Amino acid sequence: MATQHLATDLQSSLTQMLLPKGRILLVSASLISLLALATVRFLTTRIPRRPHVVVEVEGVYVYPIKGLRGCALDSGLVSGVGIQFDRRFCLQRVHRNPDTNEIDRLETVMLMYNFYLVLFHTILESPSNDASDMHIVVTYTGDEQTVPEKLSWVGSEHQLLFTAQVNCEGLSRVIMNLQGSYTQAYDMCDIAVGKVGNGNSLLFLVRRLEQLYTYIDMCDNYAKWFEKYLGFETRLLYIGDGSRAALGTLAPHSDAAVRKKGRYQTLLWSLAPARYKWGPEHLVFNDIAQYLVVTRESNDAATARLDDGLDMDILKF
């Protein structure tokens, strides 16, 4: 019965495609029906069904600020772009024109090129145990004098506190282009940000290599705090409730991945009604995929390759 309903939907789509307005195209109804039925058979037989698998989750880890050390969660809200609070913020290095002192370009501060980011620890805290009141605590642990007894907020000069979830109601909207993917973000002027204080956001438009970057500066007090440890001008960016499309062929439902399947498969997939297809994947500040799943067996196999007495830290997998 489900196959018949799907074939009927496809037949309607094919009829509209093959009989455009203002033209008369002689295509028999039986041919349209056969093509629709063939598409349904392809979708139901060639695309494997995912088996129902029960897994035991030993730990959930998030990284509130991209590149900085993350923290463990007892529970988390799962979404199409990742776990809630995971990589909604990132640091950008500001490059200025030496002649005009104008911002020339922004460079994402990534761990693979900036190993000292491991000296920053982040945790999530909520005084009311409510996600709407969640705050991010960043602690710098670069030397023995700055290492606190605990990473929770104690008001140390080596700590930074700001809200993890911003109410964007009433804020002006801007369009962002992140690595070729457009998204919507918000100007965060006049937002109270935890115990650090209020500040004005600065909105910059930078054109570089024909790409437009519109970003939200999380106030100078945040930038100055990171600058004194990193040694260069820095911006803390927030993506808000926006997202960006996952480009390339690794995302199974991206346009590039669908085209890679082959001409006939792509044609049949394009004829299927939208409600029977997955939409393209989206990301925030995470790379390549929304989630990284590491099994205990994989982690143990990595440990077996290390010297005696060493265990593979799953956070470094």
User: DSSP string covering 105-132, please?
Assistant: EEEE--TTT-GGGGGEEEEEE-TTS-GG
Q: What is the CA radius of gyration of the chain?
A: 25
Beta strand segments in 8-101, E: 60-62, 71-73, 78-79, 82-83, 89-96
Per-residue pLDDT tens listing for the chain (317 residues): 554 454 455 445 545 544 454 444 444 555 545 555 565 555 555 555 667 777 788 888 999 998 899 999 888 888 888 888 998 888 888 889 999 988 777 778 888 888 889 999 999 998 888 877 889 999 998 876 666 677 888 888 888 888 887 665 655 454 555 555 555 555 343 343 333 333 333 333 333 223 333 334 455 577 788 988 999 988 787 777 677 777 766 666 666 666 666 666 666 666 666 665 666 777 787 777 788 888 889 999 999 999 888 888 887 76
pLDDT at position 24: 42
pTM over 0.75: no
Six token digits for residue 255: 């346009």
Question: Residue 164 has what pLDDT?
Answer: 86
Helices (H) and strands (E) in the chain, counts: 6, 16
Largest Cα separation within the chain, whole Å, is 83
Give the pLDDT score at 287: 75
Specify the 3-state DSSP secondary structure of 25: coil
Predicted local confidence at residue 18, as pLDDT: 46
- Neighbour-count burial for 31-41, b at 16+ CB within 10 Å, e otherwise: ebbebbbebbe
Q: Please identify which residue in the block is written with the tokens 């804020």.
A: 171
**DSSP 8-state class, residue 251:** S
Residue 6 parent element (H or E): helix 2-18
Bridge partner residues of 305 (DSSP):
none
**Tokens for 251?**
């995302």
d(CA 183, CA 11): 35
- Cβ contacts of 36 within 8 Å, gap of 6 or more: 7, 8, 10, 11, 14, 271
